[in-house]
Each structure stands twice: as C-alpha cells, then as structure tokens.
C-alpha cells in the first residue's frame, strides 16, 4: 500500500457512505480533482490503493500530492453531478477534463400564446411555453436567415410595449417587412397564416413554402397585380440565396445531439452536431485541453459540463462511448428536459453513419488545432528571440488606453496563453488618477493597479507585457513596474504601423528597454502578426468598454437631472422600460404601474424627457 499521512486515512475512514461530491486537495489547499459518488467513503478510499494509479494513470501524479479531502453531501447522484460540474468550473482542478468553450448559442424563440407572435433571438432556453429553434452556431448566418424570413413573412419585430403604444406604423411596415398589427393593418387570421408559414420554414418544410410562394406569385401575375408578383419574386430569390440546404441526417424527425471526439495525447476536440427535425442545423467544435483519462471520462465531462438548465436538451444524445454511470447522466439530462432523455451508442444504420461523420469532423478539427498550435509555437519562439527572453512566453498580457478627446478615460488588458487569446483573463479599468488626455499617466496607473502586491498575495506575473505605444508609453510602464517591485519586468512597446522614410509600406515598430532604435520585423512575420492581433484585440476591448461607459453616463445624466428621481427610481424605471427611450415613450398610466412612483413624479419625468 502507498504510504499516506495517518490523518488522511483517518479522514477517509470517517466519510459518510452516502451520495455526494468530493474534492481532493494538496497540502496547500489547492483542489486537485473533483468527483461524484453514490458512496463517498467507498469511492474516496479506493484512491488510497495502489491500483488506483494503475487503473486511472492520468490521476497518478495528483494522487501523490493528495493530502486532504472535502465532501459535500447530496440527496441523489444526479444532484451530485450538478454540484460536481459547478466545482469544476469554479476551482478548475488540473486533473479534471474541462470544456474550454461552454458558451450559449443563439436560438430563435416564438411565443404562440401572444395574439401577434414575433420571432426573437435568444441565448437562453427556458421552459416558458414558447417554441425554440436551434441552437445555431453561426450568428451572422442566422441573422441573415432571420432577415430573409421577415422579408417573406412580415412578422412584427417590436416589443410588446411598443406594439401597444406606438403612435403610427413604423418604417418596417412601409418597407413591407411588418404587417403592422399595431394599427390593424392585418387581421388576426391573416397574421396567423404568416406565423404558420414562418414555422413551416423553420421546421424544414422548405419545399412546401417555396411552392406556396411560387403559386401566389403566379396568381398575382394572372390577376395583373404585377407589383405584388414582383415583390413575391424578389422575396423568393432572397430566400433561396440566404437559406442553405441542410443535409438530411436521418430519416426520422427526432431531435438529437451527436458527439464526436478525436484525441491526440492529452489534447482532444469534441464536435457536437445539432440535429433538429432530421437535419443538421449547426455544428460546434469544443476544445478539451488536458483531456486525460479514457474516452468514457471525456464523454462524461462533456455531458456534465455542456448541458444545463438554460440549454435545449434533445430527447436523444448519441455518443461514441457510454460513460461510467450512464444512467446518472440520463437522469440528469431528463430532469433538465422534463421528459426522458436517452444517451446511447448507435451500432448500425443512419445514426451510426452520422456518429462516424461527427468523429471525422472532430479529427479534422484536431488537425487544424495541431497546425494552429505549431504556428503559435513558432511565433512565440521568434517573439522570445526578438524580446531577448530566456524562453518562449507562455502568458502575454497586452494593455491599451481609450478615451474621447480626453473624456472618460478607460483602459483594457487582454491575455494570451500559449498563443491563444484567453478571454477569461481579460480586464478593463476606469482611470481614477489621470482623468485628462494623458496616455503616459494612464498607462502608469493601470500597470501599478494590475501588478501591485497586496499584503502577502502576489499576482501571477506574465512572461511578457506588451503596451500599445512607443518610447513614452514604454518608459511610463517601466516606471510603474519599478514602483511595484518589478523593475526587470519583460516588457515591449508596440507602436502603430506607419510608412518608412521613403513613404513605402507600413511597418510595426517594437520598442525594447535600454534600446533607442525600435525593432522593425517583417510585416508578415509570425511574431508581428501575434503582437498586432493582441494589440488590436486590446483596442477593441477598450473601445467596447468605453462605449458602454459613455452609454451608462448618458442614461444616468438624462434621469439624474430630474428632481426627485434618485438611484432607486432610476433603477426601477430602467428595469421596467429597458431604456430612457422606453420611459420617454411610456404613457402616464404606464409610469404609474411602477409601485410608489406617484402621479406628480411621473408627470415631472415625462415633462423633462419630452422637452424639445
């Protein structure tokens, strides 16, 4: 038996024999591994045996460092699965497989309970009685499709509040993209027909929809209503151009997700194909860094971390290998869906073919990822040579400052890990000390705030710092780093491209400490492309935050100028009406629906906001 501290063996022996989650920790309290079990004592005790390292070799190095265990009891194993994935996302234990990308994808939502339904784009699936279509990975293509649908089926796009209060039909009605139910320009029966046509299109009945359009176009032409016929013709052509033909994956119309996995060492990529009504509506590749363990472990990590209460769960999920305790995952997914969900491995037929196709796509994505890693490694090696670093930088942080004529100065920091942008490490700042147009002072401030030492806590420092600017910004940045006790910090300044002395070309200039003349690498060099990508991303992130700050100030100033409207009423009004424009468009009766607002204050608000 492996020798373990007596205290650890005693702690394991005292664990309850019930369902729950366990966290294995090292001597410093860092979580190494998170797992679930129907019997906590039995499962955790198995890790004290030498056979654990043999049966699960990817855990062996972490079991050597294991010195403490924490457990959380749950009523069922399904509840433990939910809690396990919550801890994995929060603690990021090194021994667990984690999804790099678990973001929400766009869906189309239409609520048929409304008298005049509309189609909206949403990222969260809810059990609210509405119909949901998707998910769709390509947001740009989806918005183009939605525009084509609205040209063909002129459903309203306005909010319920606007529908009830708008004084006259909007521009969309004049363009023929809205039937204008707000002013009775369409009957309820005709609007229902428009809704039915849109639903048929979304459900894949495209041939029927296109045939109906052609029939109506001929009827309008024969009746010599040529303008109407031409409108239908244009809409038909737009629809045929925009809507791609979807491949029919299986002969039935069951909704299902199909998971394909490709692995190389401890790197893996998962491909998830979303099949709705028998057709592939979208495909998503999800990187799985440090995917150690068996294929069943990877499948288990994916199922537990990808699906939650705000994602659509289909009645079937096809996987390449069943995870351990597959019935637990079926119970978990069934609870999310509200009806039974089956997780299975198809052995033959069309479903086996679509699973093989998902695997082949995963292999292609892994090959692309391998190529991208090689390019990133080459760029980091070249960057290390240029910046005179002892080794290729694994972590690079890039800073940028943004303002509008010196007003509302903000800054951003973006983080690059192993040549890939790490959005979880992005940060933005509002400048506190230098509120004027002083880029040098602003850069000094944000670097001091980023790398200062608070007590005994020291922020994990990057391998390279990049600041947007030339000599001045670099000097200011180095002064700030010296103030926080890091005078020898690896840092470079990246000045924006400009033409050379002969007016030819545009070259990025890279300034190094203790060197007067900048380094001018080739414009298409790998290190140049990496640095400019980070600088452009930092600039985009700063501009986005700056716009948000300006928008918030505009809202606050518009409401703050009204006597008797403080933080509470501003918050209540914006929560109910969504924006200052929504408040301005509201009637006095609408405002009085805000509890406690009062008629006098409501009239004062409308008078102020509607002043010419």
Rg (CA), the chain: 30
Q: What pLDDT digit, counting tens, does each position of 480-499 carry?
A: 999 888 989 999 999 876 65
Q: What's the rounded mean pLDDT across residues 543-570? A: 66
Q: How confident is the model at residue 437, as a pLDDT?
A: 65
Angle at 344 between CA 77 and CA 139, to 5 degrees: 90
Which range scores top for mean pLDDT: 177-181, 314-318, 433-437?
314-318
> Residue 405 pLDDT more than 80?
no
> Residue 6 pLDDT more than 80?
no
- Dump the DSSP string for 600-611: HHHHHHHHHHT-
Residue with tokens 């176009």: 217
- Give the helix ranges, DSSP H, for 389-500: 439-451, 471-483
Q: How confident is the model at residue 552, as a pLDDT?
A: 58
CA distances from 102 to 31, 121, 212, 267 (A): 21, 19, 40, 17
CA distances from 75 to 14, 21, 105, 303 (A): 19, 11, 31, 21
Q: How far apart are CA 521 and CA 513, in angstroms?
A: 17
Residue 399 backbone dihedrals phi, psi, to 5 degrees: -120, 145
Are the CB atoms for 281 and 258 separated by under 8 Å?
A: no
> Residue 3 pLDDT more than 60?
no
Q: What pLDDT digit, counting tens, does each position of 164-212 carry?
A: 888 888 888 887 788 888 888 888 988 988 888 888 777 766 677 778 7
Name the token pair of 596: 């406690």
Q: How confident is the model at residue 241, as a pLDDT?
A: 58
Q: What is the pTM of this model?
A: 0.60
Length of the chain: 612
Name the token pair of 240: 């045929």
> Residue 466 pLDDT more than 90?
yes
Q: How far apart are CA 194 and CA 373, in angstroms?
A: 49
CA distances from 15 to 34, 43, 81 (A): 16, 10, 19
Which one-letter DSSP state was computed for residue 457? B
Q: How far apart are CA 586 and CA 575, in angstroms?
A: 13
List the domains of the chain with CATH numbers: 6-91 (3.40.1440.10), 106-242 (no CATH), 256-367 (3.30.420.10), 395-549 (3.30.420.340), 561-609 (1.10.150.20)
Residue with tokens 């006098």: 600
Q: What pLDDT digit, counting tens, does each position of 490-542 carry?
A: 999 998 766 555 555 557 889 999 888 888 888 888 888 899 899 989 888 88
Q: What pLDDT digit, counting tens, does each position of 51-110 carry?
A: 877 777 778 888 888 888 888 888 888 788 878 877 887 788 888 877 765 556 677 888
Q: How confident is the model at residue 453, as a pLDDT?
A: 67
Looking at the DSSP bridge assignments, the partners of residue 271 are: 260, 285
Q: How confident is the model at residue 309, as a pLDDT?
A: 76
Which one-letter DSSP state was computed for residue 301? H
CA torsion angle 543 546 552 558 (round to 10): -100
Angle at 567 between CA 566 and CA 572, to 5 degrees: 100
Report cis status (omega within 30 of 0) of the bond before 135: yes
Q: What's the rounded mean pLDDT across residues 115-139? A: 79
> Residue 341 pLDDT more than 50?
yes
Which range scores top for mean pLDDT: 99-108, 403-412, 421-430?
421-430
Are the CB atoms for 322 and 296 separated by under 8 Å?
A: yes
Half-sphere exposure of 274 (CA within 13 A, CB side): 17
């Amino acid at each position: 038996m492996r020798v373990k501290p007596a205290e650890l063996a005693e702690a394991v022996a005292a664990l309850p024999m019930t369902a729950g989650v366990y966290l294995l920790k090292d001597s410093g309290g860092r979580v190494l591994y998170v797992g679930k079990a129907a019997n906590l004592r039995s499962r955790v005790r198995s890790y004290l045996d030498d056979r654990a390292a043999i049966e699960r070799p990817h855990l062996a190095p972490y079991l050597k460092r294991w010195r403490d265990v924490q457990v959380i009891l749950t009523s069922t194993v399904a509840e433990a699965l939910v809690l396990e994935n919550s801890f994995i996302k929060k603690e990021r234990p090194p021994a667990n497989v984690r999804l790099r990308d678990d973001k929400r994808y766009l869906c189309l939502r239409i609520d048929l309970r409304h008298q005049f339904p509309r189609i909206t784009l949403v990222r969260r699936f809810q059990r609210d009685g509405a119909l949901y279509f998707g998910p769709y990975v390509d947001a740009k293509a989806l918005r183009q499709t939605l525009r084509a649908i609205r040209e063909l089926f002129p459903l309203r796009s306005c909010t319920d509040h606007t529908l009830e209060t708008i004084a006259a039909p909007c521009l969309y009605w004049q363009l023929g993209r809205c039937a204008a139910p707000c002013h009775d320009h369409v009957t309820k029966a005709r609007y229902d027909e428009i809704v039915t046509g849109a639903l048929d299109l979304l459900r894949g009945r495209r041939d029927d929809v296109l045939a109906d359009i052609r029939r109506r176009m001929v009827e309008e032409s024969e009746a010599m209503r040529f303008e109407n016929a031409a409108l239908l013709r244009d809409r038909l052509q737009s629809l045929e151009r925009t809507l791609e033909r979807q491949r029919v994956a299986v002969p039935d119309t069951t909704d299902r997700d199909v998971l394909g996995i490709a692995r190389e060492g401890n790197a893996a990529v998962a491909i998830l194909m979303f099949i709705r009504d028998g057709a592939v509506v979208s495909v998503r590749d999800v990187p799985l860094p440090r995917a150690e363990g068996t294929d069943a472990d990877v499948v288990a990590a994916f199922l537990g971390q990808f699906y939650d209460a705000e994602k659509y769960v289909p009645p079937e999920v096809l996987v390449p290998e069943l995870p351990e305790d597959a019935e637990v995952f079926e119970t978990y997914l069934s609870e999310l869906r509200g009806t039974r969900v089956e997780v299975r491995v198809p052995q033959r037929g069309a479903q086996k073919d679509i699973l093989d196709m998902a695997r082949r796509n995963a292999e292609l994505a892994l090959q692309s990822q391998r190529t991208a890693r090689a390019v990133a490694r080459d760029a980091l090696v070249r960057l290390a040579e240029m910046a005179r670093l002892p080794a290729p930088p694994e972590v690079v942080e890039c800073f940028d400052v943004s303002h509008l004529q010196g007003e509302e100065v903000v800054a951003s920091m973006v983080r690059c890990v192993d040549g890939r942008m790490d959005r979880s490490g992005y940060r933005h700042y509002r400048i506190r000390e230098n509120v004027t147009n002083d880029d040098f002072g602003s850069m000094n401030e944000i670097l001091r705030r980023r790398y200062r030492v608070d007590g005994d806590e020291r922020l994990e420092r990057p391998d390279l710092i990049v600041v947007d600017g030339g000599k001045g910004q670099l000097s200011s940045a180095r002064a700030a780093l010296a103030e926080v006790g890091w005078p020898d910090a690896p840092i470079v300044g990246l000045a924006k491209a400009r033409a050379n002395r002969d007016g030819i070309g545009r070259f990025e200039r890279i300034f190094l400490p203790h060197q007067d003349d900048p380094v001018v690498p080739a414009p298409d060099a790998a290190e140049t492309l990496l640095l400019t990508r980070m600088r452009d991303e930092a600039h985009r992130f700063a501009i986005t935050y700056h716009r948000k700050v300006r928008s918030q100030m505009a809202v606050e100033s518009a409401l703050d100028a009204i006597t008797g409207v403080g933080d509470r009423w501003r918050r209540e009004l914006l929560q109910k009406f969504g924006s200052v424009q929504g408040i301005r468009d509201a009637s006095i009766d609408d405002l009085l629906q805000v509890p406690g607002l009062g008629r006098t204050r409501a009239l004062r608000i409308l008078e102020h906001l509607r002043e010419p």
